[in-house]
Structure 1
């Protein structure tokens, strides 16, 4: 099978910040110019509270990146892209006397309209997508902006609800609510979700894991080469996950992973490269074992205190030739 080495630039949780804010900060990796890539992935939280000027600023930032294709999903802070949530609580979160009922339509039109397309941006709702990249590779993506309810922000589901596995494969004792289930291996190369899976880069500063166990089970079924996300700012970093063989349905999330090894990041090199660069292609010292391993990346740019100081990730991996 012919494969093509492909460079992917990943960022999340920019919350309306841009690299230009760090232009003179030589100790921050999130500063211009960011790395050239074959495809850019933004895993949500484009804004602070889903205002139009925030979306416009983020779109303008993405326009300046050197990547012919830029895939974008929403996050829990992009409240006007969740129309149901916005109708319920949008005016309160944006400190308005009344909801701006037209904002969800305008926000969606911005991300799906001609201006975004000319910038190479494709906004992804929850589901599976296929792309042919300019380097000749085929990219298959599963995307979802949803995460377990978190301080009553947008795109939520309850923790006992399984959003990612079909009913016959759902977590025992959960409530299946799947609309767009994660497909089985080998249908997907990359999963991009806003929230993390349980136990992987999901620990909050006060202690405890807040990721989704159902998403972890779905990732085990899917076994993508790359699963990228954000949401938990203090979880920034990468892990190389080796999956347990078999497809049995276990309630305990720990049973799905044989080994999860944290990847050490050279911070000085990251600042110099303006990204944490990880090569898991066949040309690397340790190529990814496709079908047995997944590279998990939390690419939150913001720190816990909302400072845009954490570096994006650049991942080199092999994709099938289109």
Structure 2
């Protein structure tokens, strides 16, 4: 019996010794491989995952007709969420944001000219004071499910995003912004109007664009500019090395491939990598001039997806339509 117990003790000791040897050998082998230059992946800034930004604009209270918008990290609407900006319209838009906010980590909004039509009507009748309408919190108080940018910057997911919407009591062609306060070093600029000469051609020539904005873009050098406002010039420009690719996408007639007033790309020294005019509603008057048919305004564009990739210490951007 004593011999049996001794044999069992020796067997257990041998098993422990073998396990220790195997673990040591494995550790030594790992150390040897690491010493020979095995590169271990880490989540350093140079290998951080891409950030996705969904850009929509000019939905004019037809937000529920935009379909199943794709998921993204950041959602940005660049103005004209409503047709006239009544409390009922803005309330419905805000409710809709609440139903989709689970798809985005951050939601950012700016105001457009149509978002103040009802506000201007009430101001002109003395039912609303100018000080209240011009308060930085006026539009934010109506849109509670997203952050409204009003000449301010949001820093999210490593990106610096600066936005400025429309001003109350301004006409439909000028926002009232001089854009002198756009800071240098931002990644994404969000406005409602266009920079002069870029996606701003209408039947009457240049419209709804700003010389001041164009100058501010050259000064501040954002990597991305998102806007809307000029429906018939919906399109994009993406920088590819020393030139831009893209152009106007708006088609007045769905039965032809002809776009509305195609124009040339920005100047070669234009600092933006992605320029996106994504006014998603059609322009009924323009469509009628091509087709001879009057149709209600409806959503014709699709959301644009902006991809941000970190390369070293700098962000770089491309766009696509998912």
With the shorter chain as reference, the TM-score category is: 0.5 to 0.7
Q: Which has the higher helix share?
A: 2
Pairing 1:156–2:175 present: yes
- Conserved? CA contact 2:53–2:307, under 8 Å: yes
Q: Identify if the C-alpha distance between structure 1 residues 73 and 223 changes in structure 2 by more than 3 Å, giving closer, same or farther.
A: same
Which SS does the other structure have where 1:91 is aligned? Answer: helix
Pairing 1:11–2:56 present: yes
Equivalent in 302, 309, 312 of residue 318 of structure 1: 309
Equivalent in 212, 227, 230 of residue 229 of structure 1: 227
1:191-219 deviations in whole A, cap 9, x for unaligned? 00011111111111343354212211211
* Larger RCO (alpha carbons 8 Å, 6+ apart): 1
Distance 1:45 1:59 in 2: 13
Unpaired segments ≥5 residues, structure 2: 1-44, 252-269, 285-296, 315-322
Moved more, 197-206 or 39-48: 197-206
TM-score for both structures, normalised by structure 1: 0.62
Distance 1:316 1:300 in 2: 19
Larger Rg: 2
Q: Over aligned residue pairs, what C-alpha RMSD do you find?
A: 3.9
- Conserved? CA contact 2:108–2:148, under 8 Å: yes
Q: Identify if the C-alpha distance between structure 1 residues 293 and 195 changes in structure 2 by more than 3 Å, giving closer, same or farther.
A: closer
The offset of 1:34, in angstroms, is 0.7
1:96-140 deviations in whole A, cap 9, x for unaligned? x66355984999567347x82xx4x11111122322x3xxxx120
Q: Identify if the C-alpha distance between structure 1 residues 100 and 163 changes in structure 2 by more than 3 Å, giving closer, same or farther.
A: closer
Distance 1:241 1:212 in 2: 22
Equivalent in 138, 141, 152 of residue 161 of structure 2: 141
Moved more, 195-204 or 34-43: 195-204
Pairing 1:128–2:147 present: no
Distance 1:264 1:318 in 2: 25
